[in-house]
């Protein structure tokens, strides 16, 4: 498309959904090209977050949503008495900050697990734009709803699965999302510690470690610190399905 080629040459580094390679995974999913162009008016700047830094914290005023462009995040909530719980891990193309809408303030922390970059999506502008065109509105609602469905899945996991099943489900979910981003379905590098995995899965870090070791002994995985290779996807899947019970 010549006009686009020209545009690319003239504005080669413009921050824009229309020339982002994540547009098939991110907010613009399902939007027509014209509509993605409209989105560009909204998503005008990015923010870098170094490993270990927070994108936002519980209590911060809510102003924008963030789309992960590169890198990896965790979100965690904490109770008054200091316990905290990882509520999710977010990778490229996933949205952060939806919790903030309810109260005009965030209710969890978002921490970068590696040097990361996010697109800033000012929330009032998103509302405005999604009043103007249906597609965006609908897509946004789907993303929120998907988050609710995901959370219900985690509740099922936390409420009724045993350690092995939890870890298996976790790994399958991770690889599935990585695969959608063009990575291998069978080899991955964990971005989080055993403790963070444990917090997410409602287990202690020792249990996570032991379960990794067990999977290795059983020939399901190869584990070298954070390098994981899935040897038998089938066995992993059958653990989740409870086929062996």
Binding part of the chain for a second copy, among 25-33, 123-131, 181-189, 221-229 by CB under 8 A, reads 123-131
Shortest separation between residue 193's beta carbon and DNA, angstroms = 3
- Residue 125 has, within 13 A of its CA and on its CB side, a CA count of 13
Site string for DNA, 212-241 (x = CB under 7 A): xx---------xxxx---------------
Interface of this chain with DNA, residues 131 to 170, rule: CB under 7 A:
162-164
Q: Which does 205 bind (CB under 5 to 8 A by kind): a second copy, DNA, none?
A: DNA
Which residues pair with residue 96 across a beta bridge?
Answer: 66
The binder of a second copy chosen from 16, 154, 168, 192 (CB under 8 A) = 154
Based on CB atoms, which residue is closest to DNA, 47 or 162? Answer: 162
CA–CA distance, 178 with 195 (Å, rounded to integer):
21
Based on CB atoms, which residue is closest to DNA, 117 or 193? Answer: 193
- CA end-to-end span of the chain, whole Å? 56
Residue 206 binds to a second copy (criterion: CB under 8 A): no
Residue 212, exposed/middle/buried by CB under 10 A (0-12, 13-18, 19+)? buried
Interface of this chain with a second copy, residues 211 to 240, rule: CB under 8 A:
240
Task: Find out whether 218 and 170 touch, Cβ atoms under 8 Å.
Answer: no
Based on CB atoms, which residue is closest to DNA, 33 or 162? Answer: 162
Task: Find out whether 110 and 98 touch, Cβ atoms under 8 Å.
Answer: no
In the three-class reduction of DSSP (H, G, I as helix; E, B as strand; rest coil), residue 198 is classed as: helix
Residue 173 binds to DNA (criterion: CB under 7 A): no
| Residues found near a second copy in the complex (CB under 8 A) | 77-85, 87, 98-103, 107-108, 127, 130-132, 134, 137-138, 141-142, 144-149, 151-156, 158-161, 199-202, 240-243, 245
């Amino acid at each position: 498309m010549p006009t686009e080629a020209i545009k690319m040459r003239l504005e080669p580094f413009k921050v824009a959904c229309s020339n982002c390679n994540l547009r098939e995974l991110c907010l613009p999913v399902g939007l027509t090209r014209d509509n993605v162009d409209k989105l560009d008016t909204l998503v005008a700047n990015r923010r870098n977050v170094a490993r270990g830094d927070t994108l936002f914290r519980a209590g911060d005023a809510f102003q924008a949503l963030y789309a992960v462009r590169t890198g990896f995040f965790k979100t965690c909530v904490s109770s008054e008495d200091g316990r905290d719980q990882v509520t999710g891990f977010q990778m490229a193309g996933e949205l952060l900050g939806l919790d903030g809408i309810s109260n005009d303030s965030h209710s969890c922390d978002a921490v970068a697990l590696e040097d990361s970059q996010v697109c800033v999506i000012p929330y009032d502008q998103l509302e405005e734009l999604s009043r103007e065109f249906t597609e965006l509105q609908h897509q946004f609602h789907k993303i929120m709803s998907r988050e609710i469905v995901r959370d219900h899945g985690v509740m099922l996991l936390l409420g009724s699965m045993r350690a092995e099943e939890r870890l298996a489900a976790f790994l399958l979910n991770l690889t599935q999302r990585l695969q959608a981003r063009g990575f291998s379905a069978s080899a991955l590098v964990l971005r989080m510690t055993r403790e963070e995995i444990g917090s997410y899965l409602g287990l202690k870090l020792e249990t996570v470690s032991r379960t990794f070791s067990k999977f290795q002994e059983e020939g399901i995985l190869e584990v070298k610190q954070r390098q994981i290779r899935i040897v038998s996807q089938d066995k992993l899947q059958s653990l989740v399905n409870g086929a062996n019970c």
